[in-house]
Amino acid sequence: MEYDFELNKLVNKIKKLKAKRVLIQLPDGLKNRSVEILDYLSNNTNARIDVWGGSCFGACDLPIIPKNIKYDLLIHFGHEEF
């Protein structure tokens, strides 16, 4: 199955927000595409892109980020359009 991650839209959003640090959250079934997403966003923005390594079971399952780590933007991917 092919997915359209709309990476161009994400690049524009990151630039518009002037986000310096971005966290990508993927469900377990899409984690195998994380390098592709990370490379594209890193190569097309000046932001530091991190990928959440924990499990994700849906849109309501947001990562618990330690208070000493700050992100400007959280991008949550899912299998279906929300």
State phi, psi for 58 to the nearest 5 degrees.
150, 175
Which pLDDT does position 1 carry in this prediction? 61
How many structural domains are present in the chain?
Answer: 1
Could you tell me the CATH number of the domain that includes residue 70? 3.40.50.11840
Whether pTM > 0.75 for this model: the answer is yes
Which pLDDT does position 79 carry in this prediction? 59
Q: Is 82 part of a structural domain of the chain?
A: no
CA atoms of 33 and 22, how far apart (whole Å): 17
The pLDDT tens digits for 58-73 are: 666 677 777 888 999 9
In the chain, pLDDT over 90 holds for what percent of residues?
Answer: 54
Longest CA span, the chain: 38
pLDDT at 55 over 90: no
Residues spanned by the domain of 11: 7-76
Q: Is 1 part of a structural domain of the chain?
A: no
Are 48 and 41 in contact by the 8 Å Cβ rule? The answer is no
Radius of gyration of the chain (CA): 12
